[in-house]
């Protein structure tokens, strides 16, 4: 069994096609969905763990690419630079795993590295550029 965490970006041309359904049906792959933001006739984004037999996994990724889905493997590590973070909370709105969250009652923005899937969604939205990627990522 092979498993990887992936970020899938769907263009508006393919966003309404049953691509994930075919991944399961035609390639015998299983997935664990962490985040899905799909709107008809707009771009979509899915963060998920995909797993299956290595041969099926490779065939499934080939199918995704040929279908026009942009696939990014998230094998890196994301950290927060505590010196840069000023606790604005913007990142908590995009974090699919809850690794970045607000703790009550003091409303502190907490980063729990153990829950981070390294999807990198928090990196571009952070105005302070406090979320940093350790460079061992490879695009598929």
Distance CA 33, CA 17 (A): 17
Give the nearer residue to ligand SF4 in terms of CB position, either 41 or 104.
104
Burial class, 91, CB count within 10 angstroms (exposed 0-12 / middle 13-18 / buried 19+): buried
**Looking at beta carbons only, is 55 or 129 nearer to ligand SF4?**
129
DSSP state of 99: S
Minimum distance of ligand SF4 from residue 100's CB (angstroms): 5
Q: How near is the Cβ of 25 to ligand SF4 at its closest, in Å?
A: 28
Task: Report yes or no: 41 and 16 within 8 Å, Cβ to Cβ.
Answer: yes
Residues that bind ligand SF4 (CB under 6 A): 78, 80, 85-91, 94-97, 99-100, 109, 116-122, 126, 128, 130-131
Report the residue number, 47 or 69, with the smaller CB distance to ligand SF4. Answer: 47
Bridge partner list, 71 = 8
- Within 10 A of 7 (CB to CB), how many other CB atoms are there? 22
CB of 96 to ligand SF4, least distance (A): 6
Q: Measure the CA–CA gap between 13 and 23, rounded to whole angstroms.
A: 18
| C-beta of 27 vs 111, nearer to ligand SF4 | 111
Nearest approach in angstroms of CB 44 to ligand SF4 is: 17
Least distance to ligand SF4, CB of residue 115, Å: 7
The Cα–Cα gap between 118 and 113 comes to: 9
Shorter beta-carbon distance to ligand SF4: residue 71 or 94 = 94
């Amino acid at each position: 069994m092979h498993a990887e965490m992936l970020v899938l970006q769907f263009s508006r041309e393919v966003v309404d096609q049953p691509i994930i359904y075919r991944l399961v049906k035609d390639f015998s792959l299983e997935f664990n969905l962490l985040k899905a933001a799909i709107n008809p006739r707009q771009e979509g984004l899915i963060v998920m763990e995909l797993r299956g037999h290595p041969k099926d996994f490779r065939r499934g990724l080939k199918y995704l690419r040929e279908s026009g889905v942009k696939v990014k493997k998230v094998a890196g590590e994301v950290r927060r630079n505590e010196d840069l973070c000023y606790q604005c909370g913007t990142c908590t709105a995009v974090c699919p795993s809850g690794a970045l969250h607000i703790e009550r009652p003091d409303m502190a923005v907490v980063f729990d590295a153990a829950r981070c899937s390294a999807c990198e969604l928090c990196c571009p939205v952070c105005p302070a550029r406090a979320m940093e990627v350790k460079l061992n990522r490879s695009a598929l």
